Amino acid sequence: MPENGTTLLNVQHIGKQYGDLLAVKDATFDVKESEFISIVGPSGCGKTTLLKMICGLLEPSSGQVTIHEQQVTSSVPEMVLVFQDYSRSLFPWLTVRKNVLFPLKNRSDLNSAEKERRAQEAIQAVGLEDSFDQYPWQLSGGMQQRVAIARAIAFRPEILLLDEPFASVDALTRAELEDLVLRLQAKFKITVLLVTHDIDEAVYLADRVFVLGPPPSVVIRAVTVELPSPRSQTETRSDPRFLEIRNEIHDLITKDAQDTKDIEEENTTEVRSSLSNVD
Amino acid sequence: MKLTRAIKNNWSGLLVLGLALIAWELLAQRDRSFFFPPISTIFSTFYEVWFSPRFLEHAIPSLGRMFAGYLLAAALGIVLGMLTGSIESLYKTLEPFLEFMRALPHALLIPVGILFLGIGDTMKVVLIVSSVVWPILLNSTEGARNVSQERLDTAANFGLGRLEVIRRVVFPSALPMIFAGLRIGLAFAFIMVVVSEMIGSTNGIGYYILNAQRTFAVPQMFAGILLLALLGFGFNSLFLWFESKVLFWHHGETGQLEG
């Protein structure tokens, strides 16, 4: 459990400025080994920017990210990001198997049998063993996102970063994928950072939830989720403690929105409309 | 099977073609003009002219020049296009020049080519390359520039080097655009080989057609034109078949795959 784990990732005062636009103001937090972290916040509060900075795809304007006490300056093999838009991140000219093999191809430390084995294991772990030789565009949205997750898993990162991975699938598929990610986390002993605007999803999955304020984002609170594992879609979600945490986070975001109302009228309405989506 | 289905699907097009040929035949029979031979005469002349060593003498050199020029231009255009499309500073530097070259009517290059290279095969191949390379280069560049950020981020995230990103992500992503350029280039190659043979050559289909016209061998001239039309049609069909094999995933992705 997170309380006594060792710190794996350290994010210190990172911010991102695009010209005049301050996308992320100041984010600071630690992530421990094997922890499941949800980052929740209103739409357009720079969550994607935050993830991209953490995994080294985007250079922060200020602050720094370290993993194993090494500063992250470009992509590192310890972290893989799964994008929200699977249809754009999967390669349509490759089969499921070859998509998953894609990141392993230039790894000289693995022989081809090992690469195949890893790809197979990852594809089986996401339940797509029947779709090995199909192309992504022949699969449903939920299955495509499974391929993207399998591709990330096959690379064996220590941290899996998920950027609203279930935002574009239907509710049932979404619940399935949530449980899949929980199983994968247990099976591969992976640390997960998941970004979402769905408070229920954030609480259901995580050991800790980081609540982001309206843009420019700052982490306004880290909420520890003390709910029994393994989680269950029916039991966990009807647990009184689940509702309590969920309401607490909801109030945090709403209150923050109230506070900024006088300062920036426009932002507030945006936050409210996005909150009404997640209720 | 495939042929009967193709006929079934295109019966209206074939009907128009058939009616046009019949109309030509009837009008020519009635007119009996020296410059307007009936289609039946053209067909029989076609057989006499091209099912003979003349095919080797004229058609083979034309095809050889065309393909040498086309393949060279394709290789050059695709490789350079990947680079200009992937490297922003290179793109900014070269873009005005590329747009200028594209806008230039390529037949204008023929006198320049003859001036510097004479009337040999080198001149013709160079002319074909200098005409065909632009649509391929510009389309490849455009294709490379339009790769989605998610794909590039995915590749970078997995630690791919710059050249690897180009080879494994940018190039395949750009293939639909590259093929569009290759198809325009194929038509350009045909035009350039014929025109260059008409202006400076001692063999080739273009030379044969112009020579037939100058010696008032009218059915032979039409037989040459017919050969060009058939070759053009044939290569275009072959090209489309090849494209559908290579780009099946693109047609599948965009929902145009035939069942």
Do you find a cis peptide bond into A216, omega within 30 degrees of 0?
Answer: yes
* pLDDT recorded at residue B147: 94
Q: Name the band, by pLDDT with cuts 50, 70 and 90, for residue B199.
A: confident
Q: Is the pLDDT assigned to residue A177 strictly greater than 60?
A: yes
Q: What is the pTM of this model?
A: 0.85
Chain B closest-CA separation from residue A216 CA (Å): 23
Q: Name the band, by pLDDT with cuts 50, 70 and 90, for residue A231.
A: confident
* pLDDT recorded at residue A217: 66
CB nearest to A57's CB, from B153, B249, B250:
B153
Picking from B154, B165, B166 by the largest number of A CB atoms within 10 A of its own CB, the best residue to mutate is B154
Cβ contact A102–B168 (<8 Å): yes
Cβ contact A89–B154 (<8 Å): yes
Please determine, for the modelled complex, whether the ipTM score is greater than 0.85. Answer: no
Cβ contact B148–A88 (<8 Å): yes
Residue in chain A closest to B153 (alpha carbons) equals A57
Chain A closest-CA separation from residue B153 CA (Å): 7
pLDDT tens sequence across A71-125:
888 888 889 999 888 888 899 999 999 999 999 988 888 899 999 999 999 999 9
* pLDDT recorded at residue B257: 60
Q: Name the band, by pLDDT with cuts 50, 70 and 90, for residue B180.
A: very high
Single out the residue of A216, A220, A217 nearest to residue A248, CA to CA: A220
Cβ contact A92–B153 (<8 Å): no
Chain A closest-CA separation from residue B144 CA (Å): 15
pLDDT tens sequence across B96-109:
998 888 888 887 88
Q: Is the pLDDT assigned to residue A269 strictly greater than 60?
A: no
A103 and A149 Cβ atoms separated by less than 8 Å: no
Q: Is the pLDDT assigned to residue B241 strictly greater than 50?
A: yes
pLDDT tens sequence across A144-168:
999 999 999 999 999 999 998 888 8
Mean pLDDT of B117-122: 86
For helices B121-145 and B88-103, give the axis angle rounded to 10 degrees.
Answer: 130
CB nearest to A75's CB, from B157, B172, B175:
B157
A149 and A139 Cβ atoms separated by less than 8 Å: no
Mean pLDDT of B31-51: 90
User: What is the pLDDT of chain A when averaged over all its residues?
Assistant: 84
Cβ contact A81–B252 (<8 Å): no
* pLDDT recorded at residue A259: 61
Mean pLDDT of B159-172: 93
Q: Is the dihedral of CA A68, A70, A74, A77 positive or negative?
A: negative
Q: Name the band, by pLDDT with cuts 50, 70 and 90, for residue B256.
A: low
User: Who contacts B145 (Cβ-Cβ below 8 Å, separation ≥6)?
Assistant: B85, B91
* pLDDT recorded at residue B67: 95
Strands A208-212 and A36-40, bridge-based pairing:
parallel
Contacts of A75 in chain B (CB under 8 A): 156-159
Contact with chain B for residue A204, Cβ under 8 A? no
Percent over 70 (pLDDT), chain A? 89
A269 and A44 Cβ atoms separated by less than 8 Å: no
Contact with chain A for residue B229, Cβ under 8 A? no
**How many other β-carbons are positioned within 10 Å of the β-carbon of residue B160?**
21
Q: Is the pLDDT assigned to residue B259 strictly greater than 90?
A: no
Contacts of B161 in chain A (CB under 8 A): 106
Cβ contact B250–A77 (<8 Å): no
Q: Distance from CA of residue A106 to its chain's centroid?
A: 25
* pLDDT recorded at residue B252: 87
Long-range CB contacts (within 8 A, 24+) of A240-243:
A242/A203, A242/A204
Cβ contact B252–A103 (<8 Å): no
Chain B closest-CA separation from residue A113 CA (Å): 20
Cβ contact A83–B150 (<8 Å): yes
Chain A closest-CA separation from residue B163 CA (Å): 12
* pLDDT recorded at residue B44: 94
pLDDT tens sequence across A247-260:
888 888 877 666 65
Percent over 90 (pLDDT), chain B? 68
pLDDT tens sequence across B204-240:
999 999 999 999 999 999 999 999 999 999 999 999 9
Domains and CATH numbers, chain A: 2-78+157-278 (3.40.50.300), 90-156 (no CATH)
* pLDDT recorded at residue B178: 97
Least reliable range by pLDDT among A8-12, A38-42, A45-49, B139-143: A45-49
Cβ contact B164–A106 (<8 Å): yes
Contact with chain A for residue B13, Cβ under 8 A? no
CB nearest to A93's CB, from B148, B156, B172:
B172
Tokens at residue B45, please? Answer: 């002349």
Contact with chain B for residue A125, Cβ under 8 A? no
More confident residue, B139 or A21: B139
Fold of B41-253: MetI-like fold (1.10.3720)
